[in-house]
Structure 1
Amino acid sequence: MQETALKHPLNLEGVVIGKVVDFDPDSEQLHPFNFTADNTALVPEVLADTAVFSDWITTELTKANARYGIGGYDEHRTIYARSAHFDRDEEPRRLHLGIDIWGPAGTKVYNFHDAVVHSFKFNDHFGDYGATIILKYEINGQVFHALYGHLSLNSLSGLQVGQKVAKGAAFATFGIPEENGYWPPHLHFQLIFNLYTAKGDYPGVCQFSQKSSYLLNSPDPSVILKHTFKGALI
C-alpha cells in the first residue's frame, strides 16, 4: 500500500482527515495480511470453517503483537473460493477492491469526515458483507462514498437515509461472524465514486478481467487510512 507517483483521484488538499479506528502509531504496529495464493497456510480446511479461520487470524495478530491486521487493495485473493457468493460461470470474482482492517468484534468505527447516510443493508449471505453502511461525502467539491462492511447488526439500528454523521462520530462496530457474512471480525473499507443504482451494497470483489474499470471507480483507500495509521501504513 505504498504511495504511488501518480496523483490520487481524490483531492484532499487542505482537508483534515480523521481516524477510522483507534490506533496509536507511537505504541502500536500493524500486521500485513496476504490472502493471495502465496499464503500457503490458508488451506481449504481453514477457510471452510469460520471459527478455525477466525482463530488463525487471532493467532497471527497475537504472534505479531498487533491489535489490527491490514491489507487487500488490488489483491488477487484465493480466499473467496470459500463462498459460492463470489462464483460466476464465466469467471469467479477474486480481485479485492477495498482495504480490510482485521481486529476484534466490537471495535469502534469512526467517521473520518462529515457525511450523510447514503444507504444501509444487512447483506445476509455466507461470504457477503453482513451489516453494511454506505456514507456519502462531499470534499473540495468532489462527491464520493465510503462503504463500511462486515459491521455489527446494532450498527444499523436507528439509521435513516440522509442522516448526518459528524466527523469523529463512532457510528459502527465490527460485527461477529453471524452478523458480518460469516467472516473473522474485520472492517471492509472501500471508496466508491459512482454507486449507480446500488443501495446498501456494491461489489467489494470483482472479476480480474474487469479490474481496470472497477479500480477507477474504487480508488485506493489508503489515502484516507494513512491518517489513522500514520507511518505504520506502508
Structure 2
Amino acid sequence: MHATEKLAAYIKVRPGAIGKVVDFDIKSDRLYPLDLTAANAELTTEMVADTQAFAAWINNKLAGSNARYSIGGYMEHRTIYTRSALFDTADEPRRLHLGVDIWGDAGSPVYAPLPGTVHSFADNDNFGDYGPTLILQHQLDGLTLYSLYGHLSRESLTGLQIGQYVNINQQIAAFGNADENGHWPPHLHFQLMLDIGDARGDYPGVGQYSKKDQYLQNIPNPELILQFTGVNLL
C-alpha cells in the first residue's frame, strides 16, 4: 500500500479531522496552478537563477489571475533546480519535487493541520535550501505521520522546543522572505512522510527521478491534508 493510501484510509473514517495549513476561503479565494517543469516555456535558466526575477514572474501570475496563492509540485519533475549546485548529486541530479509548494506573500501564516509535537527544527541556510525548517510528528491512531514546513521566516523558529505540543489549527510559522528562506521567492514547502529515519530539522524535498516509486511508498500526497481539489483553480 502506498503512503497516500494509508493516510487516505485514516482520513476517510474521520471527516472533519483535518485543519488548515494556510488561510484559504474556499468560497472566495482562488489558486493558480504553477508548472515548474520543462513544459513551461516561460521558464528560462537565467530567470530562475535570479531570485528577484523569479519572484517577479510568480507575483505577476498571482496578480494577473487574482489568486491568493500559486500551488503545485507533488512528484513534479522540475527543471528549476539547476539554479543551485545543492541538487547536483554525482550519480543523478535531484529534480523530482516531493512535496507541495504554496507560493504567496512573505509573512503569510502557517498552521498545524493536525495535533502533534515538535519533532525537530533547523535553519538550513544554503542557497537553494529550505532555510528555516520545522518538522512535526503526529500520532494518528497507530499511524505515525511527519509533516515538514520549509522556507519559513527565522522568527518562526524562535522559542520552539523539541516535544512541544501543537494543536490543530495553531499558527506554527510564517512564510520567510528571500533573504532568509534559502533565497527563493516566498513560499511554503509542505511535505508529509511516514518515516524519516534519523533526520532532524531536515528531510529531502527533492529527490532523484529514478527513485520515484520508492518515494511514493513513504511520502503521501499533501493534497489529502490541503484538500484543495475542486476549489477555484485557474
Q: Which residue of 1 aligns with 2:37?
A: 36
Q: 1:193 and 1:230 mapped to 2: Cα distance? A: 22
Aligned-partner SS, 2:47? helix
TM-score by length of 1: 0.94
SS of the counterpart of 2:230?
helix
- For structure 1, the residue ranges without an aligned partner over 5 or more in a row are 1-5
Q: Which residue of 2 aligns with 1:58?
A: 59
The residue number in structure 2 matching 1:9 is 6
Residues 4-153 of structure 1 mapped to structure 2, 5 A cutoff: 8-10=5-7, 11-12=10-11, 13-15=13-15, 16-153=17-154
- Aligned CA-pair RMSD: 1.4
- 1:42, CA displacement in angstroms? 1.1
SS of the equivalent of 2:95 reads: strand
Q: Describe the superposition over 1:171-214 as per-residue Cα deviations: whole angstroms up to 9, x where unpaired.
A: 10000011111000000000011110100000001001111111
Q: How many residues align?
A: 227
Q: Is 1:232 aligned to 2:231, yes or no? A: yes
- Specify the alignment match of 2:194 in structure 1: 193
DSSP-derived class of the 1:172 partner: strand
Q: Is the aligned partner of 1:210 residue 2:207?
A: no
Decide whether the 8 Å contact of 1:76 with 1:96 is kept in 2: yes
Cα distance in structure 1, aligned partners of 2:42 and 2:6: 36
CA distance in 2, matches of 1:14, 1:60: 36
Given residue 24 of structure 1, which amino acid in structure 2 is its aligned partner? D
Q: Per the alignment, in what secondary structure is the counterpart of residue 210 of structure 2?
A: helix
- Using structure 2 for the length normalisation, give the TM-score: 0.94
In the alignment, the residues of structure 2 paired with residue 89 and residue 14 of structure 1 have an alpha-carbon distance, to the nearest angstrom, of 44
Match of 2:133, SS state, is: strand
Cα offsets for 1:158-182 (capped at 9, x unmatched): 0000000111111100000111110
Q: Structure 2: which amino acid aligns with 1:231?
A: G
CA distance in 1, matches of 2:100, 2:185: 15
Task: State whether residues 145 and 193 of structure 2, in contact with CA within 8 Å, keep that contact through their aligned partners in structure 1.
Answer: yes
Q: Mark the CA change 1:33 to 1:91 in structure 2 (over 3 Å): closer, same or farther.
A: same
Find the aligned partners of 2:31 and 2:4 in 1 and give their Cα distance.
Answer: 25
> 1:140: Cα distance to partner?
2.4
Compute the displacement of 1:19 (Å).
0.8
Matched AA of 1:177: A
Q: Displacement, 1:25?
A: 1.1
Instruction: State the one-letter code of the partner of 2:206.
Output: V
Contact 1:25 1:230 in 2 (8 A): no
1:231 offset after TM fit, Å?
2.6
Q: After TM superposition, which residue ranges in structure 1, 4 or more long, deviate above 4 angstroms?
A: none
